[in-house]
Structure 1
């Protein structure tokens, strides 16, 4: 039980770093952006894949400690 606070703080720090990077990087290469007239369509396919990989790794590490 004493490892849970450390794990949560580590996850919070990781999310902070990811949020900071996404804020300044903007969109990743491979994300789809279509602008036509007054309409803009943005589909972050590469960003979604990166986030999925990171979350999978986080959950894998969490399950290893159980």
Structure 2
């Protein structure tokens, strides 16, 4: 698998993730605290999912090297 093909696949994956993020917004499990004029948003579930996806991508890249 050439680097160009890998970059195209990664680009398609990023486009799909970006599109889903736009429609879904926040995932269940993400913490939002609102008090007065202040809003605190901590995307804990989103961070865990992003970490798993990036780990899998790095594993696949390392496997084909």
Structure 2 gap segments, 5+ residues each: none
How many residue pairs align between the two structures? Answer: 65
SS in 2 for 1:56: helix
Structure 1 gap segments, 5+ residues each: none
SS in 1 for 2:26: coil
**2:11 — aligned with what?**
12
* TM-score, reference length from structure 1: 0.96
Q: Distance in 1 between matches of 2:56 and 2:18?
A: 17
**1:36 — aligned with what?**
35
* TM-score, reference length from structure 2: 0.97
Cα-Cα RMSD: 0.9
1:27-50 CA-to-partner distances (Å, cap 9, x unmatched) read: 000000000000000000000000
Q: Offset at 1:65?
A: 0.4
- Is 1:47 the counterpart of 2:46? The answer is yes
Q: Distance in 2 between matches of 1:15 and 1:65?
A: 20
